[in-house]
Structure formats: structure tokens, C-alpha cells
Amino acid sequence: MAVQAAAVEAGFVVNAVQPGAIGLAPPLVLSAAEAGSFARALPGILTRASELAGREAGK
């Protein structure tokens, strides 16, 4: 859920379909430019997700 929350913060809509997987939404309708934008943003999204998960674990 942390990856989903971090992606939304970054402006991307994703679904946490399994604990180890996400799906982009809406599926199959993104352009090559949008896919590239997501790919470039993914490292930051994962860093933010790690931060969010750490906060949740510390509660």
C-alpha cells in the first residue's frame, strides 16, 4: 500500500494488485511518453514508499 500511496502523491494512479505487484491505471491506454514519465519517476516513488512504510512500522 505504501507504493500505491507514493505513486498517487507523485501523480500516478496505480492499483496494489498483490503484495509484490502494482498495476498502472487505466491499463493499456498510456502513451510512450507517459510510460517514460512513470519509469523516470519510479525510483523516487519507491524511495517515498520506503519512507511511508517505515512510518507505518514505527506506529
pLDDT digits (tens, 9 = 90+) for 5-36: 999 999 998 888 887 788 877 767 788 998 89
CB atoms within 10 A of CB 16: 15
Q: Is the dihedral of CA 20, 46, 3, 51 positive or negative?
A: positive
Q: Report helix, strand and coil shares of the chain as percent, to nearest 5.
A: 60, 15, 25
pLDDT at residue 23, rounded to an integer: 84
The yes-or-no verdict on residue 40 having pLDDT over 80 is yes
16: its cell numbers = 496494489
C-alpha neighbours within 13 Å on the C-beta side of residue 12? 25
